[in-house]
Chains A and B, each alone.
Chain A
Amino acid sequence: MNKEVLTVWVRRLLIACVVIGSVVTGILMSNTRTGLDVSAVKGAQNAQFQDLAGNWQQISHWDGSYRIVNFWATWCPPCLEEIPLFVRLQGEYKDRNVTFIGIAVDDADRVREFVRDNEINYPILIGSGDALRISEILGNKRSGLPFTVFLTPSGDLVDMHSGIVPESKVRQFVDKIR
């Protein structure tokens, strides 16, 4: 093997290493691809919010199920636009160990009225600025609503979405559940 051929193969090997490295790193980072502090993400799931009955709850209360946690508000039109999708999919996925959780960054009375009028069939918790801060810990960099995170039964954050969540994204998450 002459020197020129050897140089070509070394070059190819280097490029292959970089490309394979990027793929492997991407896969390894898939659970933490948001660059978030994993312990902070877990801690945020223990933040206390009142439910519609006035009982204190936390996201981790639903540990053991796949969770789609949606931060929303009644003053936020795109938030209201996507809620019928969540209601429909919660009904469809009730036997798939999937729980939608709504965390309203809003006034409790307005939330109760909206939930009643729209027959929301999943748990709703109520927060205010504190709820927005929790969403920021979970990756809501723009501090906007709606903001949705996808959690595994053990609380690993596997995906997030700022704005209206496409139905295909929810289905993709659920389809991965065996």
Chain B
Amino acid sequence: MLIVNQCIVALLVFCCFPQFVVSGEVDAPGASNFYTLSATLSKGNKLALAYDIHPCCYLYKRSFSFQALDSEVIVGHVSFPESLRHYDEFFGDVEIYRGEVLITLDLDTSRVEVRSDSLSISVEHQGCSDEGVCFLPDRNVLRFASLPGLE
């Protein structure tokens, strides 16, 4: 029994041997999972975008862009929450977001004629991690079956 126990310990040493650790690769989120985004379209044609950003990472405020993919809909006023200040070696002082972030878009649908028309909104942003890894600008297309304000 003692032999078995000692072999288990030795196997643990084997598994922890440093040559199996790949440098620079840590158990941290990547481009595909450092944030989640959920969207809610409400009456009054307000689109609420709720981001939940991993604690290791942040999104640049200036990187956000929103575009309606339907020609009749116009993205109007965008309400951003208060941002955080961040110093970049190359870009100087920039505004960023961390944690939970709620952004609200006012959609102008006055030109929409078909009441059951669908809606597609393109949302872009870009972020980095505190350990110095940045992720490619990301684009999500949000599709809604109908415009609640017109129903």
Contact = CB atoms under 8 A, between A and B. Distances in A.
Contacts, number: 112
Interface string A22-37: 1100110110011100
B19 to A, nearest CB: 3
A14 B3 contact: yes
A160 B22 contact: yes
A162 B133 contact: yes
Contact of B136 (A78, A145, A161): A145
A130 B19 CA distance: 31
A33 B98 CA distance: 34
Contacts of B132: 78, 81, 146, 163-164
A153 interface: no
A161 B25 CA distance: 7
Contacts of B17: 22-23, 26
Contact of A11 (B6, B22, B126, B137): B6
B82 interface: no
B135 A144 contact: yes
Interface in B106-135: 126, 128-129, 131-135
B24 A26 contact: no
Given A81-B89, A81-B90, A145 B133 contact: yes
Contact of B3 (A11, A132, A146, A169): A11
A26 B134 contact: no
Interface string A16-50: 00110111001101100111000000000000000
Contacts of B88: 77
Contact of A18 (B14, B30, B32, B135): B14
Interface string B15-33: 0011110111110111110
A105 interface: yes
Nearest to A165: B24
A29 B19 contact: yes
Interface string A126-152: 000100100000010111111000000
Contacts of B11: 18
Interface in B1-58: 2-3, 6-7, 9-11, 13-14, 17-20, 22-26, 28-32
B23 A76 contact: no
Contacts of B14: 18-19, 21-22
B8 to A, nearest CB: 10
Given A26-B20, A142-B28, A76 B3 contact: no
Q: Which 3 A-B pairs have the closest CB atoms?
A: A26-B19, A142-B30, A144-B133
Interface of B: 2-3, 6-7, 9-11, 13-14, 17-20, 22-26, 28-32, 88-91, 126, 128-129, 131-137
Given A129-B136, A144-B30, 11 more contacts: A14-B7, A15-B9, A26-B19, A76-B128, A77-B134, A78-B134, A142-B28, A144-B133, A162-B25, A162-B133, A169-B23
